[in-house]
Structure 1
């Protein structure tokens, strides 16, 4: 019985090492591939587009108001939803 356990432990250790070796090899190849793509993109970079020289559009007045309050219908809908939520979760 002792030899069976020893054999199984050796087999488990060898499978673990083989699996870890495959994972290490895969990750090494993956990192190498990413680095080679990075090098390729740096070496053969395309032409850089010139920045847009047009003047930016002004923002609408409604979007620039910071202290704008919501309309009464929105406030009523939110209040009703909060009231229903509080009374349904008792």
Structure 2
């Protein structure tokens, strides 16, 4: 969270960026890689779009409310174990 605050304070990261946005981006990328495992061009292009959209100068209007996801709640953890899915209220 410190990195997010620093980047926002420096004007490099959208003011409305939320850490859950990173979890959503990772899930999106995982879906693409699963659907198109050999298409590196699509993977690189999606990552470029996502990174560009996080930039402060890309902010043109309010976004919907952030997700309740966190990196630790992703269905598959980085260590290969099953993560916990976020609870639905």
Q: What is the TM-score with the length of structure 1 in the denominator?
A: 0.22
Q: What is the TM-score with the length of structure 2 in the denominator?
A: 0.23
Structure with greater contact order relative to length (CA < 8 Å, sep ≥ 6):
2
Larger radius of gyration: 1
